[in-house]
Structure 1
Amino acid sequence: MTALDLRPNAPFDLAPLSVMLTDPDDRTLINPNAKHPFDPLEWQEKWLAEPDDASFYISDGAGRDVGFFALRVGVGPEVRHLTYVYLEPEARGGAGARMAELVEQAARGLGALTVTLKCELDNLPALNAYRAAGYEELSQRGGMATMRLDLD
Structure 2
Amino acid sequence: MTLTLRRNHDRDLAPLAKMLPDTEIPLLNPSAKVPFDEMEWHRNWLGESSDVSFYLLDAEGHDVGFFALREGIGPEVRHLTYVYLREEMRGGAGAELAKIVEQAAEDLGALVLTLKVETDNAPAFNAYLSAGYEELSRRHGMATMRLDLEARIAA
Q: TM-score, normalised by structure 2?
A: 0.91
Per-residue deviation, 1:121: 0.6
Whether contact under 8 Å (2:45, 2:81) holds in the other structure is: no
Does residue 1:125 correspond to 2:123, yes or no? yes
Are the structure 2 counterparts of residues 87 and 11 from structure 1 closer, same or farther at C-alpha, using a change threshold of 3 Å?
same
Gaps of 5+ in 1: none
Q: CA deviation at 1:46?
A: 4.4
How far apart are residue 29 of structure 1 and its match? 4.0
Alpha-carbon separation, structure 2, partners of 1:114 and 1:85:
17
What is the Cα deviation at residue 48 of structure 1?
1.1
Query: Which runs of structure 2 are paired with 1:75-114 in the superposition (5 Å)?
Result: 75-114=73-112
Structure 2 unaligned residues grouped into runs of 5+? 151-155
- Runs of 4+ residues over 4 Å off in structure 1: none
Number of the residue aligned with 1:16: 15
Q: What residue is the counterpart of 1:41 in the other structure? A: 39
TM-score, normalised on structure 1? Answer: 0.93
Structure 1 partner of 2:51: 53
- Looking at structure 2, the residues matched to 34 and 72 of structure 1 have their Cα atoms a distance apart, in angstroms, of 20
Tell me what 2:2 maps to: 3
> How much is the aligned-residue C-alpha RMSD, in angstroms?
1.3
Contact 2:133–2:146 (CA under 8 A) maintained in structure 1? yes
1:70: which partner in 2?
68
What is the letter of the counterpart of residue 105 of structure 2? A
* Equivalent-residue separation in structure 1 for 2:70 and 2:27 (angstroms): 18
Q: Provide the C-alpha distance between the structure 2 equivalents of 1:29 and 1:107, rounded to a whole number of angstroms.
A: 26
Amino-acid identity (%): 65
| C-alpha deviation, 1:59, in angstroms | 0.7
**Kept in 1: contact 2:77–2:113 (CA 8 A):** yes
Q: Which residue of 2 aligns with 1:140?
A: 138
User: Distance in 2 between the 1:132 and 1:29 partners?
Assistant: 24
Change (3 A) 1:129 1:68: same
Aligned length: 150
